[in-house]
Structures are given as structure tokens and as C-alpha cells.
């Protein structure tokens, strides 16, 4: 099936070949900046940046609570209402990460090994994908399915999901 | 609806880079091969569906217009489908619908994607740049900063719930798929690996090691689909008996005691099985190709496609059920771990692999064909929320 292909040997370095080797490449760079509005969930990020305060959204019709917040309830399409939340929740699924690409946004905050997880805030329908930062990052020690966690806000906040992270609650449950 | 058959298969090898060919040129190579295989001329095409995952990886918005023009198909209707690593399955459904509805008789379904033109001078590795671009497929507000691997969340939840699959069972998937790839001339990696090598390779995110992760490269693959009135026996037709897709985010609404379900795969399979009349997937398929984006995901997929119950995937690989000479061979091409992967191409490639297996034209990696039925599934997207399933059969009905 592949006998129609014109085979040319690749150099040992695999790339950066120039004219005369059958191909030629040019370097291009694209710089794009966004100033994205958070629209109907703007208040979530404004409260975090300005007051280190966590808000969730509740549907006035079906009473379901969403965080990550949603301006509209996906279940009944009603406009939701804001309410405060304690920031306590539980780990639904953890990932112990030992490699990520050099330009991963997470590397601003942590280097491998680090732990991220699905975290469900108490009483909430949906989950955050969030960093969990235990004192002990040994595999499956401090962060497991069901581990109670509490939110922490970073000193520097810019209005992004990286402004906060979670820490496992101490055994006495005081969240410290 | 009219019956639809795949009558042409064109596949290029997966390679880390194809520097001698631009993406429209790769598309041309795959299209030529598929039309040659179908014994059709390009003038007989009525429409085209392009499975092209990422504009940014190509540095080209709307690349389907450029491919269509390059193939000399100006004037024919065409559309582009992009659905993450599930793109190929979605494109096949669109191509099927063109014919089943009566809008077209002969359709080219073509996947093409370059990825490693993206560069990353700091790391000195193009793959870091490619993964940065690919990450934009994730939910950029809520997922992107952290989780490059939505399947990792499903896998750890599954292991916590069932105590399985074990690390050794997961590694066996990589050993199987790399062994199959060694027999596939289109595979990017053709060196088999041992269990010790897989378990000893670098841990990327527990329990997944580097050798248990999918490859990342470039390729093109094409299929020619025709209406039943246009099928000739010389084309060795393979019939589309069931085809379905499902959008259903797997991660964000996981229950506290969730077993790590791959919901779009589950839903797509159930729909495709209902359409095809599949009652017992474990007994009905001679061959399965599925998206082993990581080895553990293949084992979770066994339950979702109906080969076993939840939590039993590890046992299947342990018992050799899905080996090339087992009762239900899975990924005889080598899959994403051995043959290769690039979103947009993989699903079209694997559908072609199932077609070749059912025709008994798969060379050294040929599996035993009994009932004459095969399954191709793909999953991908943000929160592993996109899935497609395709049931192929040597018989039209």
C-alpha cells in the first residue's frame, strides 16, 4: 500500500535539514494576546481577586449548585444566583504527575512531582480540576479518593483558576 | 436510509515528522491510495469530508479549503470535522450520512494532520510545543492549567474503586500493542518491548509510564464510502452496519464514588450496537480497534464497549482475550501506543485497519475472521467528552 511513497533517508538529527535534502523549512512565530471577559461568571473571579472569597452559583428552580460556576443552570436553563461557600470539599480523583511539558501553565506554580485532582466542593454538582498541594507528595499518601480538602488563595491573584488550590484537611478537620 | 460500504482504504505510515510533504500533499497521497484501492477515479467522487483536528498545529485556519483545492475537487461539496482525538469517528458519521441520506453516492473521508512543525526552542523538543498547542483543546478556563490527561482522573478513580487494573496488567497492554505494531509496516514504532521495560520506563502520571502513553506524530489516512448501488464485488466492500457519536464530558460531573466511566464511549457504542443489532459484543466481534491514548484507558474501554463488566478489563488482558490470537483481538494495528497517533487521522486509520482485517488483507498481523464483524471506537476531547463507534461487517445485512 505504501510503495507509491518517495522515500528519502532522514538525517540522524531528524530535522533542521536545508535545501538540497529535498525540503526546506522556515521559522515563524505567532503572538496572540487576549483580554477575555468572563461574562456572566465575572463575579466569581472578581471576588477571588479582590476579597479572596469563594462564590458558587445556585439554580433558583432545581436548587442545584455549580462550581465551577455557571450563569445558567444546564439542567433547567434558569439564570443562577450567587451564594458564598466554605471552600471545603473532597477529592473525587487524584493524579500524581511526574512529567508535564516545559511550557505547561502549571509550572508557574509547581514543578513535577505535583498532584492535581478533581475536587467537588461540599453540596456542589460539578468538580474543579485543581492543584492539591500536600506537605507530602509521596504517591497515594496524602491525597486519595475521598480525601477532605479546603481551598487556599494565592497571595498574587490575577483572575484565573490558578489563583487558588486545595490542601488536605488535617486529621482534626480544621483545614490547616 | 441507504446502505453504505467502505470500498477504499488508503493509509500512510505514522511518522514523527513528514518534512518532505506538506499536509495537502499528505492528503493527496492518502486520497490516491484510497481511490486506487476502490478502483475509482477522482472524477467519480460526489463529496468529501475532512477530519482535520487542529488549525494551530498546521498554522492554517480553515485548512480543508486548501486541501480540497489541492486535490482538484473544487466544485464538490465538502465539510471539515474536528472533534479532538475522536475526529475520525465523527468524520465517518458525517460521510456515512451524506450517502445514507441520498445527498451523495461516493464520498471521500480523509484525515490529515501535521503536528511537529510546531517548535519549542527552550525545551529543544518539538513535542513540548505540540502539546502546548494541543492543550487548547481542553477547557482553557477550568482544565488547561492543570490536567493534560483527563483519562488519568478516570483511571485513578477506577483503580481506587476496584483495585484493578493493576500496574502490571496495564503494562501488558503496551507489550501487546507494541508487539502488534512490530508487524505493521505503517507503525511508527516497530520494536517490541518487554513487561520490565514498560514498567521500568519513566513514570508520567501514576500509574502511566512513558511506554504506556500514545505516540505523537503526523500522517494521513483516507476511506472511500459508496452507496450500495455503486458497490461491486471486486471492491471487497465492508459495510457500515452501525455508526454513532456521543458528546458527554466524563470528568466534571463524576460522582464521589465514581468508577471512572468513559461516558461518550459507552453511549456511542450502545447507539451503534442498537443500529447494527449487536447483542453480545464479547462474542460478535472478530477485531476491535480503540483509542489506547494510554494503556490504562484501553482496559477501561473494554468494559465500556461491552467486552466485560466494570473493573474487569485487567482480567481480560491477563487472560489473553484481547491478544492478536485471542478471541477478541484489540488493536492489531498496534493502536495509538504502537502504530501511532495524531488526532484527526487516528480514527480514519483505525477504521481502515478494521476494514483490511475483515477483508483478510492485513498481512502478518491478520487476525482470524469468523463472524465477519469488527468494531472501531475513538474517544477524545476536553474532559474525555467525545466518542464515536463504528460497526463494520462483511455482509450488507
**CA dist B201 → B130, B207, B213, B293, B341 (Å):** 22, 11, 11, 17, 20
Q: Give the model confidence (pLDDT) of B4-30 as tens digits.
A: 999 999 999 999 999 999 999 999 999
Residues from chain B that touch A71, judged by Cβ atoms under 8 A, are none
Q: Are β-strands B208-209 and B219-227 bridged in parallel, bridged antiparallel, or unpaired?
A: unpaired
Q: What is the mean pLDDT of chain B?
A: 96
Distances (CA, A) of B267 to B92, B245, B264, B377: 17, 8, 5, 11
Percentage of chain B modeled with pLDDT above 70: 100
3-state SS, residue B85: strand
Average the pLDDT over each of A94-108, B38-52, B362-376 and give the range with the smallest value. Answer: A94-108
Quote the pLDDT of residue A20: 55
Determine the pLDDT at residue A27: 87
Residues in chain A closer than 8 A to B252 (CB atoms): 68, 118, 126-127, 129
- CB-nearest to B146 from A28, A129, A140 is A129
The sheet with strand A55-58 has its strands ordered as A65-66, A55-58, A81-84
Q: Give me the mean pLDDT over the B373-385 stretch.
A: 97
Using the predicted structure, report yes or no on whether residue A12 has a pLDDT greater than 80. Answer: no
pLDDT-derived band at A22 (thresholds 50, 70, 90) equals: confident
**pLDDT for the residue A175:** 44
Report the SS3 class of residue B195: helix
The pLDDT value recorded for residue A8 is 45
Question: Of B47, B46, B6, B50, which Cα lies nearest the Cα of B28?
Answer: B50
pLDDT at position A57 over 60: yes
Which sequence spans correspond to the domains of chain A? 39-168
**For A27-51, what is each residue's pLDDT tens digit?**
888 889 999 999 999 999 999 999 9
Assigned C-alpha cell, B251 = 470528568
Indicate which of A20, A44, A101 best probes the interface with B, i.e. most B CBs within 10 Å of its own CB. A101
Partners of residue B126 in chain A, C-beta under 8 Å: 15
Domains of chain B: 4-118+217-226 (3.40.47.10)
Among candidates B141, B156, B202 on the partner chain, residue whose Cβ is nearest the Cβ of A94: B156
Question: pLDDT, tens digit, for every residue of B214-273?
Answer: 999 999 999 999 999 999 999 999 999 999 999 999 999 999 988 999 999 999 999 999
Check pLDDT > 70 for residue A174: no
pTM of the model: 0.95
Residues in chain A: 176
Q: Which residues in chain B have their CB less than 8 angstroms from residue A15's CB?
A: 17, 19, 126
pLDDT bin (cut points 50, 70, 90) of residue A14 is very low
Residue A23 reports pLDDT greater than 90: no
A111-153 confidence digits (pLDDT tens): 999 999 999 999 999 999 999 999 999 999 999 999 999 999 9
Amino acid at each position: 500500500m505504501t510503495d507509491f511513497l518517495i522515500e528519502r533517508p532522514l538525517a540522524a538529527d531528524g530535522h533542521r535539514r536545508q535545501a538540497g535534502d529535498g525540503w526546506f523549512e522556515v521559522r515563524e512565530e505567532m503572538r496572540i494576546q487576549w483580554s477575555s471577559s468572563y461574562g456572566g461568571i465575572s463575579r466569581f473571579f472578581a471576588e477571588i481577586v479582590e476579597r479572596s472569597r469563594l462564590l458558587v452559583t445556585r439554580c433558583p428552580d432545581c436548587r442545584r449548585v455549580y462550581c465551577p460556576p455557571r450563569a445558567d443552570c444546564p439542567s433547567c436553563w434558569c439564570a443562577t444566583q450567587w451564594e458564598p461557600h466554605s471552600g471545603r470539599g473532597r477529592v473525587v480523583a487524584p493524579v500524581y504527575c511526574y512529567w508535564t511539558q516545559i511550557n505547561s501553565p502549571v509550572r508557574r506554580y509547581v514543578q513535577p512531582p505535583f498532584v492535581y485532582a478533581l475536587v467537588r466542593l461540599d453540596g456542589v454538582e460539578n468538580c474543579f480540576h485543581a492543584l492539591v498541594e500536600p506537605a507530602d507528595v509521596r504517591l497515594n499518601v496524602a491525597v486519595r479518593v475521598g480525601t477532605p480538602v479546603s481551598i487556599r488563595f494565592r497571595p498574587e491573584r490575577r483572575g484565573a483558576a490558578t489563583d487558588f488550590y486545595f490542601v488536605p484537611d488535617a486529621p482534626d478537620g480544621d483545614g490547616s | 436510509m441507504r446502505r453504505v460500504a467502505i470500498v477504499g482504504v488508503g493509509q500512510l505510515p505514522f511518522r514523527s515528522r513528514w518534512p518532505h510533504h506538506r499536509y495537502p500533499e499528505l492528503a493527496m497521497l492518502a486520497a490516491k491510495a484510497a481511490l486506487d484501492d476502490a478502483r475509482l477515479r477522482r472524477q467519480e467522487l460526489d463529496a468529501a469530508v475532512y477530519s482535520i483536528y487542529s488549525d494551530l498545529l498546521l498554522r492554517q485556519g480553515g485548512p480543508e479549503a486548501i486541501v480540497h483545492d489541492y486535490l482538484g475537487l473544487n466544485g464538490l461539496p465538502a465539510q471539515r470535522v474536528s472533534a479532538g482525538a475522536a475526529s475520525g469517528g465523527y468524520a465517518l458519521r458525517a460521510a456515512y450520512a451524506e450517502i445514507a441520506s441520498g445527498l451523495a453516492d461516493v464520498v471521500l473521508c480523509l484525515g490529515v494532520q501535521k503536528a511537529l512543525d510546531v517548535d519549542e526552542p527552550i525545551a529543544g523538543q518539538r513535542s513540548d510545543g505540540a502539546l502546548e498547542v494541543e492543550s487548547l483543546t481542553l477547557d482553557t478556563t477550568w482544565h488547561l492549567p492543570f490536567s493534560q490527561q483527563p483519562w488519568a482522573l478516570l483511571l485513578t478513580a477506577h483503580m481506587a474503586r476496584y483495585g484493578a487494573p493493576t500496574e502490571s496488567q496495564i503494562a501488558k497492554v503496551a507489550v501487546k500493542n507494541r508487539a502488534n505494531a512490530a508487524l505493521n509496516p505503517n507503525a511508527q514504532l516497530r520494536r517490541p518491548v518487554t513487561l520490565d521495560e514498560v514498567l521500568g520506563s519513566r513514570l508520567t502520571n501514576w500509574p502511566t509510564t512513558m511506554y504506556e502513553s500514545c505516540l505523537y506524530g503526523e500522517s494521513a489516512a483516507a476511506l472511500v464510502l459508496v452507496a450500495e448501488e455503486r458497490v461491486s464485488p471486486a471492491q471487497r466492500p465492508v459495510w457500515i452496519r452501525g455508526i454513532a457519536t456521543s458528546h458527554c464530558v466524563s470528568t466534571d460531573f463524576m460522582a464521589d464514588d465514581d468508577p471512572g466511566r468513559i461516558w461518550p464511549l459507552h453511549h456511542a457504542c450502545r447507539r451503534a450496537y442498537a443500529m447494527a443489532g449487536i447483542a453480545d459484543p464479547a462474542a460478535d466481534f472478530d477485531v476491535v480497534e480503540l483509542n489506547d491514548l494510554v494503556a490504562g484507558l484501553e482496559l477501561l474501554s473494554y468494559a465500556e464497549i461491552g467486552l466485560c463488566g466494570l473493573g474487569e478489563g485487567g482480567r481480560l488482558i491477563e487472560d489473553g482475550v484481547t491478544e492478536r490470537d485471542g478471541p477478541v483481538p484489540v488493536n492489531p494495528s498496534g493502536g495509538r501506543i504502537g502504530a501511532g497517533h495524531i488526532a484527526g487521522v487516528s480514527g480514519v486509520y483505525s477504521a481502515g485497519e478494521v476494514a483490511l482485517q475483515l477483508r483478510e488483507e492485513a498481512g502478518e498481523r491478520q487476525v482470524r475472521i469468523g463472524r465477519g464483524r469488527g468494531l472501531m471506537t475513538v474517544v477524545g476531547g476536553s474532559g474525555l467528552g467525545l466518542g464515536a463507534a463504528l460497526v463494520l461487517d462483511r455482509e450488507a445485512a
